[in-house]
Amino acid sequence: MRSLSRPCWLYSPGLVPYDVAWQWQRSLVADRRQHPDHHDVLLLLQHPPVYTLGQGASMEFVKAELQQQGVPLVRIERGGEVTYHCPGQLVGYPILNLQHHTPDLHWYLRQLEEVIIQAIAPLGLEGHRIEGLTGVWVEGRKVAAIGIKVSRWITMHGFALNICPDLHGFQHIVPCGITDRPVGSLAEWLPDIQYSLVEQQVKQAFSQIFHVELWPTDTLPLLPVPLPPA
């Protein structure tokens, strides 16, 4: 096993509007295109309620009543179908140069799944994969969604782990376009679960899986990168 020698900035700012975090990601990716040797970054945060659609996502998985909810619906450049973010869900955005890891998209997706599986194992929860699908399930309920964008081997977007969110927002969509497998949260098995504890376990698992040393920071060097049209 390699030593945990590659540095990775860790930024955990709490609750962040989706468009702000999206801008951060685009800025960090643009910087690493210009400077491929700059350190990796892991953003760990929460979002106010928001729905996001992957680049090629179909509106057939968005139910009509969503228009009356007043919750933003944003089309972004990741893969995958529609999903929902809200407080109580831990969202992770790794900005990694896979040239410094393993330049393989399938490997990267499986590693993100493994981070979640290892993070929840100490809680007594057994996360598993489902062949042909991306994400992590516990007892048949999907607790973590994954959607990524990789350009020139630099990653953005990432994973969303349902720790203790209000799941009602998922009722207005067909999450990830999967009709026969319900969404779940860790709080369904562990009602007294502590968000901060799970966040810490995700940090530890990420560090081990990707062989990085996380360096907490209160600031990020950001470039002015305009958002694309929604």
Tens of pLDDT, residue by residue over 7-56, are: 999 999 999 999 999 999 999 999 999 999 999 999 999 999 999 998 88
Residues 6+ apart with CB under 8 A from 120: 127, 136, 138, 143, 186, 198, 201
Q: What is the pLDDT of residue 5?
A: 74
Question: What percentage of the chain exceeds 70 in pLDDT?
Answer: 93
What CATH architecture does domain 6-216 belong to?
A: 2-Layer Sandwich (3.30)
Domain ranges of the chain: 6-216
Q: What is the pLDDT of residue 160?
A: 97
Residues 6+ apart with CB under 8 A from 100: 6, 40
Question: Structure tokens of 132?
Answer: 């042909």
Say whether 176 is catalytic.
Answer: yes
Is it the case that residue 191 has pLDDT exceeding 60?
A: yes
Q: CA nearest 91: which of 169, 144, 25, 27?
A: 144
Q: pLDDT tens for residues 82-137? A: 999 999 999 999 999 999 999 999 999 999 999 999 999 999 999 999 999 999 99
Single pTM value for the model: 0.93
Question: Structure tokens of 72?
Answer: 């933003």
Instruction: Provide DSSP, 129-159.
Output: --TT--SEEETTEEEEEEEEEEETTEEEEEE
**Active-site residue, from 8, 86, 164, 176:** 176
The tally of CA atoms less than 13 A away on the side-chain side of residue 148 is: 26
Strand order, beta sheet including 89-95 = 136-138, 141-151, 154-162, 89-95, 40-46, 6-15, 212-216
Q: What is the mean pLDDT of residues 129-146?
A: 95
Q: What is the pLDDT of residue 177?
A: 74
